[in-house]
Amino acid sequence: MNIPLTPLDLVRRGLSVYPEQVAVIQPGGPRFTYREWGERIFRLARAVQAAGHAGAHVAVLSPNTHQGLLTYSAVPWAGSVLVPLNTRLTPEEYAFQLRHAEVRLILVDETLHGRVEQVAAEQGIDVWVMGQGETGAAFEARLAAQDTTPLPIPVTDEDATITINFTSGTTSSPKGVMLTHRNTLLNAVETLFYFRADQDSVYLHTLPDFHANGWGGVWSFFGVGATHVTLPAVRADAAYAAIEAHGVTHLCAAPTVLSMLTDPACARMLTRPVRVATAGSPPHARTIADMNALGFHVTQVYGLTETSPLVTVAELSAEQEARSTAERAALIAKQGFEMLLAGEVDVMDEHLLPTPHDGVTLGEIMVRGNLVMKGYYRNEGATAKALEGGWFHTGDVAVTHPDGRVEIRDRNKDVIISGGENISSVEVEGILYGHPAVREAVVVAMPDEQWGEVPCAFIALHAGQQAGPDDLSAHVRAHLAGFKVPKHYEFRSDLPKTASGKFQKYILRGELWAGRERAVN
Give the span between the Cα atoms of 271 and 291, in whole angstroms: 14
Pairing between strand 103-109 and 57-61? parallel
- E-strand ranges in 50-205 read 57-61, 81-84, 103-109, 126-130, 161-166, 176-180, 202-205
451 — pLDDT class (breaks 50, 70, 90): confident
Domains and CATH numbers, the chain: 34-154 (3.40.50.980), 181-412 (3.40.50.12780), 415-513 (3.30.300.30)
Query: For residue 281, is pLDDT > 70?
Result: no
The arithmetic mean of pLDDT across residues 99-108, rounded, is 98
Q: Please tell me what DSSP assigns to residue 284.
A: P
Query: For residue 111, is pLDDT > 50?
Result: yes
Alpha carbon 298 to chain centroid, angstroms: 16
Backbone angles phi, psi at 368, to 5 degrees: -145, 130
Per the prediction, the chain carries an average pLDDT of 93
The arithmetic mean of pLDDT across residues 368-393, rounded, is 96
Query: For residue 86, is pLDDT > 50?
Result: yes
Residues 6+ apart with CB under 8 A from 25: 31, 227, 228, 229, 230, 246
The model's pLDDT over 285-319, given as tens digits with 9 standing for 90+, comes to: 788 889 989 999 999 999 999 999 999 999 999 99
Bridge partners, 408 (sequence order):
398
In this prediction, residue 491 carries a pLDDT of 97
The arithmetic mean of pLDDT across residues 177-200, rounded, is 97
DSSP state letters, 213-281: HHHTTTTGGGGGTPEEEE-SS--HHHHHHHHHHHT--EEEE-HHHHHHHH-TTT----SS-EEEEE-SS
Q: Picking from 30-34, 76-80, 289-293, which range would have the lowest pLDDT averaged per residue?
A: 289-293
The model's pLDDT over 333-344, given as tens digits with 9 standing for 90+, comes to: 899 999 999 999
The arithmetic mean of pLDDT across residues 1-26, rounded, is 97
520 — pLDDT class (breaks 50, 70, 90): low
Query: For residue 175, is pLDDT > 70?
Result: yes
Q: How far is CA 188 from CA 82, 311, 364, 488, 507, in A?
A: 17, 12, 26, 43, 33
Query: For residue 126, is pLDDT > 50?
Result: yes
Query: For residue 493, is pLDDT > 80?
Result: yes
Query: For residue 394, is pLDDT > 80?
Result: yes
Bridge partners, 338 (sequence order):
312
500 — pLDDT class (breaks 50, 70, 90): confident
In this prediction, residue 519 carries a pLDDT of 66
Q: Which of 214, 160, 152, 221 lies closest to 189 in space, CA to CA?
A: 221
Q: How far is CA 226 from CA 20, 147, 198, 219, 403, in A?
A: 12, 26, 6, 11, 35
In this prediction, residue 172 carries a pLDDT of 41
Give the span between the Cα atoms of 23 and 34, in whole angstroms: 5
Q: Which of 163, 103, 147, 93 lies closest to 127 in space, CA to CA?
A: 103
In this prediction, residue 170 carries a pLDDT of 37
The arithmetic mean of pLDDT across residues 166-190, rounded, is 84
Alpha carbon 206 to chain centroid, angstroms: 10
Q: Which of 453 and 352 is assigned the larger pLDDT?
A: 352
Q: Picking from 139-153, 249-263, 272-286, which range would have the lowest pLDDT averaged per residue?
A: 272-286
In this prediction, residue 438 carries a pLDDT of 96
Query: For residue 435, is pLDDT > 90?
Result: yes
Give the span between the Cα atoms of 196 and 160, in whole angstroms: 29
Give me the sign of the Cα torsion angle 159, 67, 210, 135: positive
The arithmetic mean of pLDDT across residues 66-82, rounded, is 98
Bridge partners, 109 (sequence order):
130
Query: For residue 427, is pLDDT > 60?
Result: yes
Residues 6+ apart with CB under 8 A from 471: 435, 437
The arithmetic mean of pLDDT across residues 53-59, rounded, is 98
Euclidean distance between the first and final Cα of the chain, in Å?
Answer: 60
In this prediction, residue 382 carries a pLDDT of 92
Q: Picking from 96-105, 226-235, 485-494, 505-514, which range would have the lowest pLDDT averaged per residue?
A: 505-514
Q: Please tell me what DSSP assigns to residue 372.
A: S
